[in-house]
Amino acid sequence: MAAPHVTGVAGLMWSVNDKLTSSEVKQILMDTADRRLTHEGREYKVLNAKAAVEEAKHRWDADDDGIPNDADNCPGTYNPEQAEVCFP
C-alpha cells in the first residue's frame, strides 16, 4: 500500500513546485518522513505528507511571499511588493 500513497504525495509536491527533479522529490520524502521503532528496536520511516508538501513549497518560495525564489529579488525575506531594498 505504500507505493500509491508515496506517488500521490509526490504529485502533490510537484503541484506546488514543478521545478523539483525526481531525485529532489525522493530526498524530500526521505528527509521529512517520521522515524519509528519496531518492538525489536529496528527503525523504519512513515510518510509525512504534510511535511513533504510544505518542504517542496518552501523550496519554491522560501519566504512565503507568493513569489518563486528564482523571480524573487529577496528570496530569503518576505517582500511581496518586490521593493528595491531587502531588509533581513
Give residue-wise pLDDT tens across range 35-63.
998 888 888 899 999 999 999 988 877 77
Cβ neighbourhood burial of 58 (10 Å; 0-12, 13-18, 19+): middle
Please give the pLDDT value at position 62: 73
Q: Which domain holds residue 37?
A: 1-88
Average pLDDT, integer, range 4-30: 93
- Is the confidence at residue 15, as pLDDT, over 80? yes
Q: d(Cα 5, Cα 49) in Å, to the nearest integer?
A: 9
Q: Count of domains in the chain?
A: 1
- Is the confidence at residue 74, as pLDDT, over 90? no
The C-alpha angle with vertex 60 and arms to 54 and 66, in degrees rounded to 5, equals: 90
Please give the pLDDT value at position 1: 55
